[in-house]
């Protein structure tokens, strides 16, 4: 039985999968060929672009003492001029090669950008997620670090009195004399610019002296001045340390023990919304900082609010916050700070799992169930899995936290792969909010629009009591379909075949899957009927309705359309905290992490929006979303209540969410998943094939899946193969798509089968078909 937690750590070669990792790069010649081979120092190098390698290169003598796994090198590759940048993954000082190897041309960093543990992690990710190691290196080390963004190379000159004796100086030209005297007096290296300003000369005399060998020079990389290191952190929240509740103390004790034991351990902190999980994280980090260790805290990108940052920045001297709106120079600067060991806590989204802390003591993943921890481009890694792999190789614990843990993590606590810590109650004896379900199938003739009578009344009462409301609707835009009532034509994206969403600002019809955008047609493009209808509800339309219903309330909308500009998030949230906004409506952006005591009402406009997706996680996602947004209320002394509008009030996920019953939901859902061996019971991989021509794409999809079937039969692995078939999004950005879903009780055989089947699978360039392998997919569309 293998699942998310039961994987082979990158540093050990046990288990079938990990030991085969060696084969992956094993290019050793048969022994009889070695006799003739000469001993040379060999480096194995991988590339981020095709061909990805690995290829062997000879290490020139001068580089022998510096080169290490993790070093970047420039090497000759094919006929490319100027060489190609690659990553060294292995060095063998007494290597043997059958034929003469080409030499490494240049070693690019004095110190490798990746330490040995991170190199092992790269190789593990490359193996498990079936991605080229060179690409994984590029993911691990941000491009701003690779290009040393925000720094400059500067040349410093120095004068040695032994070379520049008084006699020699006296024989120089007047300008050169002046330069020499300044440098001799300075007793410290100076740049050409500094010298020429002091002397009042051009840089020419400096260059001449240097050429004569009278000055020595060195090049240094320096940071540009004017770096901003901190941004505004105050969102108006005043907070002090708390006296821990009993369950907080118990959880903390376990975490501290795990940290002190210096052993790998996965802990799941299951704490209801408002139970004070963040306080537990902070205390745990305060403890390990005493041992000179640091921590990584991963949060979903949209939870990286000023509130989250503020809570950590108030409690620690040295925090690095990584976020998507950093400039390359800032990102590089923070990376260097982290690597130097001066940072105690790194907070960031999934890529922060790679933060190069030299003495990492704990990795925390808050809201560990969140989908944003999985990367949706190559390498398609999940930060939780990578965190556990990294922790394994370092012998440190991982702390996962959530009110609605992923079933993978929950299952791990049932099988002994993770330890469960519980915060079953809210802090200060606060009650969980009451949840009322409103059955939207029952049409009340006084209900027009998206808001039911009970919800309307509740909003009115809340505003009357000077409380605040949160309204969740998980669709952005105005209308989600544009349809002709006469001929039935639906305006769709020409590249994706998906219905376009009408956006009222600017009258645009936009594709939410690609960047296609046109002016919304005033009449039907198919039959010219001029009464085209907008159907379906988006946040823009909801905003219009809310403003009309509650004309005296201040309303703000938060979705990715209104949150484009850096800082807009922070602006809305602090206006909400200060009470300037009465009703905050938006997409799932408002469902996460927010802690505002005056929110007395949460309304869910349509709880079913994700329930009927063709995805085995649909129920889980619905439960999580409703529970999380419900958790935004009842956080003050005035209590709170929740109204959930739904067309499926009897659905178990919605029922359980209305009772705040995570455990009940999880146990039932585990039984459902077992029927089909879906994760966490087994492993799943998805293969997506896309191409410009439908028939060719389908043919190649069938060919590839046929190979997988044959490999499975050859290896006698128990793998169920569904497809190839068109996925729900059967066209994307002008390409036809097919996918296949592979299921297996264990991840090792599944990975091995795909790897073997794909090894020599080449698609002729003229077919213009590509495929990707997605291990443990989160997205089925």
Contacting residue, 271, 397, 433, 634, with ligand ADP by CB under 6 A? 271
271 binds, among ligand ADP, Zn ion, none (CB under 5 to 8 A by kind): ligand ADP
Distance of alpha carbon 600 from alpha carbon 57, whole angstroms: 66
239 binds, among Zn ion, ligand ADP, none (CB under 5 to 8 A by kind): ligand ADP
- Residue 91, strand partner residues: 43
Peptide bond into 379 cis (omega under 30): yes
Residue with smaller CB distance to ligand ADP, 234 or 457: 234
Range in contact with ligand ADP (rule: CB under 6 A) among 116-124, 274-282, 576-584, 652-660: 274-282
Closest contact distance (angstroms) between CB of 24 and ligand ADP is: 41
**Helix boundaries (H) for 89-173:** 116-128, 133-140, 143-146, 166-170
Distance of alpha carbon 449 from alpha carbon 481, whole angstroms: 16
Distance of alpha carbon 143 from alpha carbon 328, whole angstroms: 8
Residue with smaller CB distance to ligand ADP, 367 or 752: 367
Contacting residue, 101, 117, 201, 244, with ligand ADP by CB under 6 A? 244
- Residue 151, strand partner residues: 223
Distance of alpha carbon 448 from alpha carbon 545, whole angstroms: 10
**Which element (helix H / strand E) includes 25?**
helix 15-25
Residue with smaller CB distance to ligand ADP, 277 or 350: 277
Decide: is 495 part of the binding site for Zn ion (CB under 5 A): yes
Contacting residue, 493, 602, 626, 700, with Zn ion by CB under 5 A? 493
Residue with smaller CB distance to Zn ion, 46 or 482: 482
> DSSP letter at 431?
P
Decide: is 276 part of the binding site for ligand ADP (CB under 6 A): yes
Contacting residue, 149, 299, 329, 427, with ligand ADP by CB under 6 A? 427
Ranges of beta strands (E only) in 677-748 are: 683-691, 720-725, 731-732, 735-744
**Which element (helix H / strand E) includes 502?**
strand 501-503
274 binds, among ligand ADP, Zn ion, none (CB under 5 to 8 A by kind): ligand ADP
Decide: is 176 part of the binding site for ligand ADP (CB under 6 A): no
Positive/negative CA dihedral, 724, 730, 735, 736: positive
Q: Which two tokens stand for residue 270?
A: 């299951």
Decide: is 274 part of the binding site for ligand ADP (CB under 6 A): yes
545 binds, among ligand ADP, Zn ion, none (CB under 5 to 8 A by kind): none
Decide: is 10 part of the binding site for ligand ADP (CB under 6 A): no
> DSSP letter at 395?
T
Whether the Cβ atoms of residue 593 and residue 305 lie closer than 8 Å to each other: yes
What number of chain residues touch ligand ADP (CB under 6 A)? 17
Q: Tokens 């790679």 correspond to what residue?
A: 354
279 binds, among ligand ADP, Zn ion, none (CB under 5 to 8 A by kind): ligand ADP
Residue with smaller CB distance to ligand ADP, 239 or 262: 239
Decide: is 496 part of the binding site for Zn ion (CB under 5 A): yes
Whether the Cβ atoms of residue 560 and residue 503 lie closer than 8 Å to each other: no
Closest contact distance (angstroms) between CB of 554 and ligand ADP is: 24
- The number of residues in the chain equals 781
Angle, helices 246-261 vs 277-289, to 10°: value is 40
Range in contact with ligand ADP (rule: CB under 6 A) among 84-92, 241-249, 453-461, 711-719: 241-249
Binding residues for ligand ADP restricted to 562-621, rule: CB under 6 A = 595
Closest contact distance (angstroms) between CB of 512 and Zn ion is: 8
Any residues with CB less than 8 A from the CB of 149 and at least 6 apart, and which?
327, 328, 329, 331, 332
Closest CA to 421 of 232, 550, 270: 270
Contacting residue, 248, 392, 574, 683, with ligand ADP by CB under 6 A? 248
DSSP track, 358-383: TTEEEEEEETTT-GGGB-SSSS--BH
Name the residue with the smallest CB distance to ligand ADP.
276
Closest contact distance (angstroms) between CB of 244 and ligand ADP is: 5
514 binds, among ligand ADP, Zn ion, none (CB under 5 to 8 A by kind): Zn ion
Decide: is 404 part of the binding site for ligand ADP (CB under 6 A): no
763 binds, among ligand ADP, Zn ion, none (CB under 5 to 8 A by kind): none
Contacting residue, 2, 275, 655, 743, with ligand ADP by CB under 6 A? 275
Contacting residue, 220, 242, 359, 453, with ligand ADP by CB under 6 A? 242
Closest contact distance (angstroms) between CB of 476 and Zn ion is: 15
Distance of alpha carbon 722 from alpha carbon 705, whole angstroms: 9
Closest contact distance (angstroms) between CB of 598 and ligand ADP is: 12
Closest contact distance (angstroms) between CB of 237 and ligand ADP is: 8
Closest contact distance (angstroms) between CB of 771 and Zn ion is: 21
Residue with smaller CB distance to ligand ADP, 248 or 393: 248
> Regarding beta strands 215-223 and 190-191, do their DSSP bridges make them parallel or antiparallel, or are they unpaired?
unpaired
Range in contact with Zn ion (rule: CB under 5 A) among 5-13, 88-96, 204-212, 509-517: 509-517
Decide: is 767 part of the binding site for Zn ion (CB under 5 A): no
Q: Which two tokens stand for residue 774?
A: 């997605």
**753 in helix, strand or coil?**
helix
Q: Which two tokens stand for residue 292?
A: 């000179």
275 binds, among Zn ion, ligand ADP, none (CB under 5 to 8 A by kind): ligand ADP
Distance of alpha carbon 139 from alpha carbon 144, whole angstroms: 11
Residue with smaller CB distance to ligand ADP, 278 or 539: 278
Decide: is 628 part of the binding site for ligand ADP (CB under 6 A): no
427 binds, among ligand ADP, Zn ion, none (CB under 5 to 8 A by kind): ligand ADP
Angle, helices 277-289 vs 306-313, to 10°: value is 40
> Regarding beta strands 397-402 and 319-321, do their DSSP bridges make them parallel or antiparallel, or are they unpaired?
unpaired
Range in contact with ligand ADP (rule: CB under 6 A) among 99-107, 115-123, 180-188, 244-252: 244-252
Range in contact with Zn ion (rule: CB under 5 A) among 222-230, 485-493, 545-553, 737-745: 485-493
Decide: is 212 part of the binding site for ligand ADP (CB under 6 A): no
Distance of alpha carbon 335 from alpha carbon 663, whole angstroms: 40
Contacting residue, 335, 516, 736, 738, with Zn ion by CB under 5 A? 516
704 binds, among ligand ADP, Zn ion, none (CB under 5 to 8 A by kind): none
For residue 39, CA distances in Å to 58, 97, 106, 129, 356 come to 10, 7, 21, 35, 35
Residue with smaller CB distance to ligand ADP, 12 or 242: 242
Contacting residue, 21, 245, 587, 645, with ligand ADP by CB under 6 A? 245
Decide: is 279 part of the binding site for ligand ADP (CB under 6 A): yes
**Which element (helix H / strand E) includes 311?**
helix 306-313
Decide: is 239 part of the binding site for ligand ADP (CB under 6 A): yes
Whether the Cβ atoms of residue 236 and residue 367 lie closer than 8 Å to each other: no
CA angle (638 as vertex; 250, 425 as ends), nearest 5: 20
DSSP track, 592-646: SS---TTEEEEEES-TTTTTTSSSTTHHHHHHHHHHHHHTTSS-STT--EEEEEE
Per-residue binding letters, 428-457, with ligand ADP (x by CB under 6 A): x-----------------------------
Distance of alpha carbon 256 from alpha carbon 531, whole angstroms: 66
Q: Which two tokens stand for residue 672?
A: 């459902």
Decide: is 491 part of the binding site for Zn ion (CB under 5 A): no
273 binds, among Zn ion, ligand ADP, none (CB under 5 to 8 A by kind): ligand ADP
Decide: is 511 part of the binding site for Zn ion (CB under 5 A): yes
Residues that bind Zn ion (CB under 5 A): 493, 495-496, 511, 513-514, 516
Interacting residues with ligand ADP (CB under 6 A): 239, 242-245, 248, 271, 273-279, 427-428, 595
């Amino acid at each position: 039985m293998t699942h998310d937690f039961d994987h082979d750590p990158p540093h050990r070669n046990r288990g079938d999968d990990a030991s085969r990792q060696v084969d992956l790069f094993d290019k050793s010649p048969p022994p009889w060929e070695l006799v003739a081979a000469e001993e040379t120092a060999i480096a194995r190098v991988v590339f981020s672009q095709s061909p990805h390698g690995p290829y062997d290169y000879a290490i020139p003598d001068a580089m022998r003492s510096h080169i290490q796994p993790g070093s970047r090198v420039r090497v000759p590759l094919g006929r490319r001029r100027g060489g190609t940048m690659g990553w060294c993954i292995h060095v063998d000082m007494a290597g043997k090669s059958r034929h003469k190897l080409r030499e490494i041309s240049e070693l690019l960093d004095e110190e490798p950008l990746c330490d040995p543990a991170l190199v092992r992690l790269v190789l593990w990710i490359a193996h498990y997620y079936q991605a080229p190691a060179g690409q994984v290196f590029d993911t691990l080390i941000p491009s701003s670090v690779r290009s040393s963004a925000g720094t400059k190379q500067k040349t410093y000159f120095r004068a040695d009195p032994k070379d520049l004796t008084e006699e020699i100086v006296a024989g120089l030209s007047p300008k050169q004399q002046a330069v020499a005297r300044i440098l001799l007096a300075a007793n410290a290296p100076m740049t050409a610019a500094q010298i020429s300003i002091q002397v009042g000369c051009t840089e020419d005399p400096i260059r001449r002296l240097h050429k004569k060998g009278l000055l020595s020079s060195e090049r240094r990389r320096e940071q540009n001045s004017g770096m901003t290191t901190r941004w505004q952190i105050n969102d108006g929240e005043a907070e002090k340390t708390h006296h821990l509740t009993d369950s907080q103390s118990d959880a903390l004790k376990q975490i501290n023990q795990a940290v002190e034991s210096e052993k790998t351990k996965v802990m799941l902190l299951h704490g209801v919304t408002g139970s004070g999980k963040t306080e537990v994280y902070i205390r745990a980090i305060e403890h390990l900082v005493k041992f000179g260790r640091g921590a990584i805290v991963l949060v979903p990108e949209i939870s990286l609010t000023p509130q989250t940052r503020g809570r950590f920045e108030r409690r620690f001297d040295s925090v690095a916050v990584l976020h998507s709106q950093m400039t390359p120079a800032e990102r590089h600067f923070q990376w260097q700070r982290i690597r130097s060991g001066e940072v105690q806590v790194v907070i960031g989204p999934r890529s922060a799992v790679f933060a190069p802390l030299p003495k990492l003591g704990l990795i925390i993943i808050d809201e560990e169930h969140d989908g944003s921890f999985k990367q949706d481009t190559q390498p398609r890694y999940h930060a939780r899995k990578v965190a556990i792999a990294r922790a394994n190789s370092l012998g440190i614990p991982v702390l996962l936290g959530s009110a609605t843990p992923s079933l993978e993590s929950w299952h791990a606590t049932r099988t002994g792969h993770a330890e469960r810590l519980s915060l079953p109650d809210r802090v200060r004896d606060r009650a969980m909010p009451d949840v009322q379900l409103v059955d939207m199938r029952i049409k009340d003739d006084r209900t027009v629009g998206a808001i039911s009578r009970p919800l309307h009344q509740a909003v009115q009462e809340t505003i009357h009591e000077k409380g605040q409301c949160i309204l969740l609707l998980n669709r952005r835009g105005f209308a989600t379909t544009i349809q002709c009532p006469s001929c039935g034509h639906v305006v769709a994206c020409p590249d994706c075949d998906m219905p376009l969403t009408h956006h009222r600002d600017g009258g645009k019809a936009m594709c939410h899957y690609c960047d296609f955008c046109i002016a919304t047609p005033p009449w039907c493009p198919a039959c010219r009927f001029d009464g085209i209808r907008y159907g379906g509800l988006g946040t823009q339309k909801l905003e219009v309705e809310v403003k009309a219903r509650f004309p005296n309330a201040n309303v703000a909308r938060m979705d990715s359309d209104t949150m484009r500009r850096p800082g807009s998030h922070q602006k809305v949230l602090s206006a909400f905290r200060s009470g300037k906004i009465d009703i905050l409506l938006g997409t799932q952006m408002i469902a996460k992490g927010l802690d505002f005591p005056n929110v007395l009402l949460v309304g869910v406009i349509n709880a079913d929006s994700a329930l009927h997706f063709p995805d085995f996680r649909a129920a889980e996602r619905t439960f999580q979303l409703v529970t999380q947004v419900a958790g935004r209320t009842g956080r003050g002394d005035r209590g709170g209540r929740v109204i959930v509008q739904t067309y499926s009030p009897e659905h178990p996920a919605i029922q359980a969410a209305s009772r705040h019953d995570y455990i009940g939901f999880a146990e039932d859902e585990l039984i459902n998943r077992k029927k089909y061996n879906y994760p966490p019971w087994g492993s799943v991989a998805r293969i997506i094939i896309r191409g410009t021509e439908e028939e060719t794409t389908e043919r190649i999809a069938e060919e590839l899946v046929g190979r997988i079937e044959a490999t499975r039969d050859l290896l006698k692995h128990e793998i169920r193969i569904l497809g190839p078939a068109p996925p729900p999004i059967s066209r994307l950005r002008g390409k036809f798509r097919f996918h296949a879903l592979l299921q297996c009780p264990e991840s090792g055989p599944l990975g091995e089968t795909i790897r073997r089947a794909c090894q020599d699978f080449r698609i002729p360039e003229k077919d213009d078909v590509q495929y990707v392998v997605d291990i443990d997919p989160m997205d089925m569309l």
